[in-house]
Structure 1
Amino acid sequence: MAAGKTVEMAVMGLKAALANLENAIDVRFERERDQSEVDGEVRRVHADRSRLAQELDQSEFRANRLEEVNREVSRRLVTAMETIRAVLDR
């Protein structure tokens, strides 16, 4: 009878070890899935950052160009006003 109990205890220990192994595997897969999701999110954030940096560069270029055009228009208006004054003063 003692041998039967020993075998039963060994089988129970083996079942417990298998259950622990399955749980460890499940936890490992879950961590890998979570890490994969984090990696994907990091890639999306980097892609968004690159896109936003490019859009910012384009916006800064446009703003600088508008500033240049604004200065030119302002210069031409001053010239036109001075010409009109000179014509009126004659």
Structure 2
Amino acid sequence: MADVDCIEKTSLTDAVRRLDQAVGQLETSIQRRMDADRSLNALQDDLQRLGEDRSQLAVTLDESEARASRLEEANKDVSRRLVSAMETIRSVLDAHGG
């Protein structure tokens, strides 16, 4: 009977050891999963910020393109006026023997 008690204690000790190992592996797996979830959340936050930055850059680009277009039109208008003024000055000079 003593042998049976010893075998049962060994079996119980082995079972407890295996259970401890399984719990340890489970805890490790849970920690890895939690780390992966945190990493995923961080990536999603980064992606959202990138989207917001992209939207802001698109708005800024549109504003810059509109301003450039207005400046180009103003430049053309100033050039036309300068040409007209030069022609007027040339006409006045020619009329007065200049």
What is aligned with 2:89?
Answer: 84
Please tell me whether residue 23 in structure 1 is matched to residue 28 in structure 2.
Answer: yes
Deviations 1:44-79 (A, max 9, x none): 111111111111111100000000000000000001
The TM-score normalised by the length of structure 2 is: 0.90
Aligned runs of 1:3-82 on 2, under 5 Å? 3-82=8-87
Which structure 1 segments of 5+ residues have no match?
none
Partner AA of 2:67 in structure 1: R
Moved over 3 A (4+): none
Aligned pairs, how many? 90
Q: Which structure has the bigger radius of gyration?
A: 2
Which structure 2 segments of 5+ residues have no match?
1-5
1:2, CA displacement in angstroms?
0.2
Report the Cα distance in structure 2 between the residues aligned to 1:88 and 1:7, rounded to whole angstroms: 118
Report the Cα distance in structure 2 between the residues aligned to 1:62 and 1:12, rounded to whole angstroms: 74
Give the 3-state SS of the residue equivalent to 1:46 in structure 2: helix
1:89, CA displacement in angstroms?
1.0
- Cα RMSD of the aligned pairs, angstroms, is 0.6
